[in-house]
């Protein structure tokens, strides 16, 4: 009889642990009550969670790995899509996918909703038909925080229309070397721009009067200052330099209330940021007071020293709260459970991480409204959003040269010639992170190429020849040249020279006896010396997104250019890196430079 009672008592204790029975202290359903404050709801829910459920909340998995019961069976806390990973061609496909995933999460024991993350870095850029804005390098030239907030309010609305509740944006690196393949994701080379415009982006995403999604300040810290501009490289700086250049943007983001921060792949003086408890906990969480959660970058934990167990232990103890696995989630879950069982990671660290994650989910209202609001679907890519994008293009353009006032082009001109590989290629003008991770070529989504925009603004004779043949006799020739799309390390380059094709095109146009206007499509400054004498006017158009008509507005004087350089423009490859404040500062065009008509 004694043994039976003991066994029953034991089973009762286990039942209490598993179900989180709170006795007279409150109801197990208190966390579902929106009238309670967020800390109370978090405490109530956390007290009911098993260790396995907590570890599930810390796990983020790529959407392509999710089967019909994956989320439910593994009590996963988060899903993401990598660049170019898509459920289909329409916004409805995205909404359907999100709701199917969320149904699994709501069917778990405690019904904790997932939070879904996507790289909506210049609009909802993974979704065909969405409004795609200029990349940050161009937006930095606007110096206009109100515009950046408006852009991000629209982005939040279009993202929310597909159910998604979290974007891995804004990127707020301070780019110090244009050879870096992610230069265009930066607002510019000064901490002031990162702070001013990053703060505005977060306000638009998280705190607008319309739909709100979680923002993510990235990549903490120093990724724009790596040696040689190598992506995921080593930032070699003293702590005072790191704080002076690369920390202000994050301080502004934390002060603004950003919900999440993504750790950087890069290292600081040889130590990977993902494994630095000093940077992630002491500086970010303790000193700056960041109370959201830290997300790792894509499989970045795997880059830490040691075996996989060592890597997970180091990252979690350093302060990473959620791990972007993204594929072998079962290995991550089992490894983390073993580390906790071996007391290499404390339950206090786990509870801290999960509390931070749950706090964001409660703040977003996911427990009350977990599914897609399909009434928002018509908002995606609508005309008023594209008008804002068109204006963003106009404000981002920088007029670098305008000899003999060849610009603006007169609308009374009888004939103009348009040429260049970037003139009629929507994919090229959007750059990387546009429908596909590395971007693409041609009409990969809905939008207006620069040539199409010119034909809309100038209704007379517009000739187009990609090679510039037949320009003789035209009133003016416009050469739209520059880079083709890339993203991350694939864009790292030691030579930022124009291609021989682009150089030869400009020279050919000049030889035909017509004034030549160069429109440069690029994610960074390129070396202009070979065409400086042949181009009568040069416009830095950056990566303008889907609304190429904004370029035409500037070309024909419907908008007087106001953009000011967010980065210094080097004279030659040998001059890179060059930044305002350098001891021997002699750029081709200085930081803040920009002409008007």
Query: Which among 153, 211, 231, 488 is annotated as catalytic?
Result: 488
Helices (DSSP H) in 47-170: which residue ranges? 51-57, 70-74, 91-106, 136-139, 145-160
| Contact present, 162 and 98 (Cβ < 8 Å) | yes
**For this structure, is 488 an active site residue?**
yes
Q: Would you state the structure tokens that stand for residue 190, as one six-digit string?
A: 């000064």
Axis crossing angle, helix 145-160 with helix 383-396, rounded to the nearest 10: 150
Paired with 267 in beta bridges are 234, 272
Give the residue from 552, 561, 550 showing the smallest Cα distance to 393.
550
8 Å CB contact between 105 and 69:
no
The residue count of the chain comes to 597
Instruction: Pull the structure tokens for residue 323.
Output: 């791990």
Count CB atoms within 10 A of the CB of residue 150. Answer: 18
Straight-line distance from the first to the last Cα atom of the chain, in angstroms, rounded to the nearest whole number: 97
Strands 267-268 and 271-272: antiparallel
**536's tokens:** 């009568």
Secondary structure of 440-488 as H, E, C letters = CCCCCCCCECHHHHHHHHCCCEEEECCCCCCCCCCCEEEEEEECCCCCH
For residues 597 and 595, give the distance between their C-alpha atoms in angstroms, rounded to a whole number: 7
Residue tagged active-site, from 297, 424, 492, 547: 297
Residues 6+ apart with CB under 8 A from 485: 427, 428, 430, 431, 432, 434, 438, 439, 440, 441
133-136-140 Cα angle (round to 5): 115
Classify 217 as helix, strand or coil: strand
Place of tokens 């901490």: 191
CA atoms in the 13 A half-sphere facing the CB of 354: 27
Q: Determine whether 543 is exposed, middle or buried from the number of CB atoms within 10 Å of its CB (0-12, 13-18, 19+).
A: buried
What the block records as the tokens of 588 is 């081709």
Q: In what order do the strands lie in the sheet with 216-220?
A: 216-220, 260-263, 293-295
Question: How are beta strands 476-482 and 115-118 bridged, if at all?
Answer: unpaired
Which residues face 220 on adjacent strands?
A: 263
Q: How far is CA 396 from the centre of its chain?
A: 18
Cα–Cα dist 48/423, whole Å: 59
Give whole-number Cα distances, 28 to 33, 106, 224, in Å: 10, 16, 47
> Which of the residues are catalytic?
297, 488
């Amino acid at each position: 009889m004694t043994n039976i009672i003991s066994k029953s008592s034991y089973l009762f204790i286990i039942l209490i642990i598993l179900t989180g029975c709170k006795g007279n202290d409150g109801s197990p359903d208190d966390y579902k009550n929106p009238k309670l404050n967020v800390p109370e709801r978090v405490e109530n829910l956390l007290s009911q969670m098993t260790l396995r459920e907590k570890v599930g909340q810390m796990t983020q998995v790529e959407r392509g790995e999710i089967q019909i019961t994956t989320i439910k069976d593994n009590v996963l806390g988060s899903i993401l899509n990598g660049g170019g990973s898509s459920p289909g061609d329409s916004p409805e496909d995205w909404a359907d996918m999100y709701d199917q995933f969320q149904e699994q999460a709501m069917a778990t024991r405690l019904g904790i909703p997932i939070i879904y993350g996507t790289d909506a870095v210049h609009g909802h850029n993974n979704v065909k038909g969405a409004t795609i804005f200029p990349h940050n390098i161009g937006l930095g030239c606007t110096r206009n925080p109100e515009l950046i907030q408006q852009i991000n309010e629209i982005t939040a609305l279009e993202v929310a229309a597909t159910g998604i509740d979290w974007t891995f944006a804004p990127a707020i690196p301070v780019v110090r070397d244009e050879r870096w393949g992610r230069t265009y994701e930066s607002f510019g080379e000064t901490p002031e721009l990162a702070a001013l415009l990053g703060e505005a982006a977060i306000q638009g995403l998280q705190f607008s009067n319309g739909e709100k999604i979680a923002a993510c300040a990235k990549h903490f810290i120093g990724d724009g200052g790596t040696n040689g501009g190598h992506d995921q490289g080593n930032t070699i700086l003293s702590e005072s330099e790191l704080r002076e250049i690369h920390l202000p943007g994050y301080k502004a983001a934390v002060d603004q209330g950003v919900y999440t921060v993504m750790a950087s792949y890069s290292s600081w003086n040889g130590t990977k940021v993902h494994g630095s408890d000093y940077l992630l906990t002491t500086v970010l969480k303790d000193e700056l007071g960041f109370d959201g959660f830290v997300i790792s970058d894509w499989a970045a934990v795997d880059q830490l020293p040691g075996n996989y167990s060592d890597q997970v232990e180091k990252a979690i103890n350093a302060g990473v709260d959620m791990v972007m696995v993204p594929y072998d989630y079962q290995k991550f879950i089992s490894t983390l459970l073993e580390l906790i069982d071996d007391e290499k990671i404390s339950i206090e660290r786990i509870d801290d991480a999960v509390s931070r994650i749950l706090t964001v989910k409660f703040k977003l209202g996911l427990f009350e409204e977990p599914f897609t609001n399909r009434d928002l679907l018509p908002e995606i890519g609508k005309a008023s959003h594209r008008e804002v994008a068109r204006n963003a293009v106009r404000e981002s353009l920088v007029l670098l040269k305008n000899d003999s006032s060849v610009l603006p082009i007169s609308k009374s001109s009888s004939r103009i010639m348009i040429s260049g590989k970037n003139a009629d290629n929507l994919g090229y003008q959007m750059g990387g992170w546009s429908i596909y991770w590395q971007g693409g070529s041609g009409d990969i989504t809905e939008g207006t190429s620069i040539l199409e925009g010119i034909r809309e603004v100038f209704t007379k004779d517009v000739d187009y020849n990609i090679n510039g043949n037949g320009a003789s006799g035209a009133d003016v020739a416009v050469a739209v040249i520059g880079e083709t799309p890339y993203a991350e390390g694939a864009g790292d380059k030691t030579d930022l020279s124009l291609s021989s094709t682009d150089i030869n095109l400009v020279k050919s146009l000049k030889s035909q006896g017509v004034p030549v206007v160069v429109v440069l499509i690029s994610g960074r400054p390129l070396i202009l010396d070979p065409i400086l004498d042949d181009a009568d006017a040069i416009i830095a158009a950056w990566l303008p997104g889907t609304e190429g008509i904004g370029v035409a507005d500037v070309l024909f004087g419907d908008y007087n250019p106001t953009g000011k350089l967010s980065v210094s423009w080097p004279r030659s490859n040998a001059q890179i890196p060059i930044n305002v404040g350098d001891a021997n500062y002699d750029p081709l065009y200085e930081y803040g430079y920009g002409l008007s008509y």
